[in-house]
A and B are shown apart, each in its own frame.
Chain A
Amino acid sequence: RKEVEQDPGPFNVPEGATVAFNCTYSNSASQSFFWYRQDCRKEPKLLMSVYSSGNEDGRFTAQLNRASQYISLLIRDSKLSDSATYLCVVNDNYGQNFVFGPGTRLSVLP
């Protein structure tokens, strides 16, 4: 089993749609969690950290369920500019071991 798994995608949604991505991790001792986005042929960029109580940043909402070892990202009112690959990242070694999921590609269509 891979350490971090994500929805395989791709997701093709119309502008204005709400879309949710799921991520599961295998190490119950994992300490911190992040969502990154990566545009085609570009570097990953931090989208948001994921906190235990859940957190929201504009149209983006992240949730963490430690008991189920599950992380989610919800994007509301999708924009064309949201088209990218979304990477789930888990840190399980006190800042030294960031494990990346394979990513889920999103295409927002006009």
Chain B
Amino acid sequence: QQQVKQSPQSLIVQKGGISIINCAYENTAFDYFPWYQQFPGKGPALLIAIRPDVSEKKEGRFTISFNKSAKQFSLHIMDSQPGDSATYFCAAPGGSNYKLTFGKGTLLTVNP
């Protein structure tokens, strides 16, 4: 059974700052590690995903850093904007049958 620990639970950043959310997983896996963004009243939406044979993936202001040996991965949001205020979930492949195990989420608030 995959386990995922996500930190911090909540994060407050000033506009233009860098937001960093960390996740750690227990079991080695060979599928993608995705991050999801969820706005209030909406379902989680795929934000960015990384495959475990690369160390970094960048899409616009969003970057995933992946440390396979430490079993850790993190989301960096550069030049954070108030519109980025949302809950962010990391996820790790959960083993069989294409499952994902999710972190408990990080509530990000970007102040103007």
Interaction A to B: no
Residues of A within 8 A of B (CB): none
Residues of B within 8 A of A (CB): none
